[in-house]
Amino acid sequence: MPFVKVKDGAEIFYKDQGKGQPVLFCHGWPLSGDAWEPSIVHMAKHGFRAVAHDRRSHGRSSQTWDGNDMDTYADDLNTLIEHLDLRDIILVGHSTGGGEAAHYVGRHGSGRVAGVVLVGAVPPRMVKSEKYPKGLDLSAMDGIRKGVFDDRAQFYEDLSLPFFGYNREGAKVSVGARKDFWRQGMLGGLKGQLDCIHEFSEVDYGPDLEKIDVPFLWIHGTDDQIVPIDAAARTGIHMVKSGDKELKEYEGAPHGLVVTHQDRFNDDLLAFAKKIAK
């Protein structure tokens, strides 16, 4: 399996399929690059090179004690980009991966990036502060930390319900999607996943959004129970400096809309990619 070794010796797993302009996918917590499989196939079938990695301490990548922070995630991503010599990247990030994508641009610039797509993404900041009054209470994150530490397997099984909106009346529940969410979550390491809770909730990605100067698309579900749209997309879109930016709201869609609204999302991603194709 393909791995790239980063500066501290950790090995980052990645998949690389198709040929053409690269689309680089950053996954959400606590998942892996497998979360993007249908989109990888869709983009590769339509003439793009689709790349997805497992963030350190997630999926098949090294489970490290140190380095489970957004600066290191962005540096790991930069090492992968340089290793594969990716240029004119369409950078796509879901949830925590949205923070990773934004922070990559904020930390390493947009020289290799042609466009950015955030999906149900955590920027600018999930936890409430004076600067971000629409955020969630820190106690909610403390509850996540306790649930993950005390009984991670049960916590991830329970989390899959609101993640996909399966707890809503009339929802068509996919048992398979819930099992796959659990499978991906349990592949990762406990220490790294606990550390990552701070990174997706308490880091301020506002300065990173302000540095995005390439075509930009934000997709977010209006019924996202994990990353509420008011605190995220509806706030963050105004911070992006790009003159070519758009927010697409999926009415009634949950956090896991990449799965529940798979065809619509893939069509929107492909249309954006074709619009900015090099």
Instruction: Please tell me which residue in 57, 61, 62, 95 is annotated as part of the active site.
Output: 95
Closest CA to 196 of 250, 257, 152: 152
Which residue among 76, 195, 224, 268 is the active-site one? 224
Residue 7, number of CB atoms within 10 A of its CB: 10
Confirm whether 83 is a catalytic residue.
no
Strand positions, DSSP E, the chain: 3-5, 11-17, 21-26, 48-53, 89-94, 113-119, 216-221, 245-250
180 is catalytic: no
User: 194 is written with which tokens?
Assistant: 């606990």
DSSP 92: E
Q: Are 82 and 40 in contact (CB under 8 A)?
A: no
Pairing relationship of beta strands 48-53 and 89-94 according to DSSP bridges: unpaired
The catalytic residue among 94, 255, 261, 268 is 255
Beta bridge partners of 23: 50, 90
Q: Is 224 known to be catalytic?
A: yes
Catalytic residues: 95, 224, 255
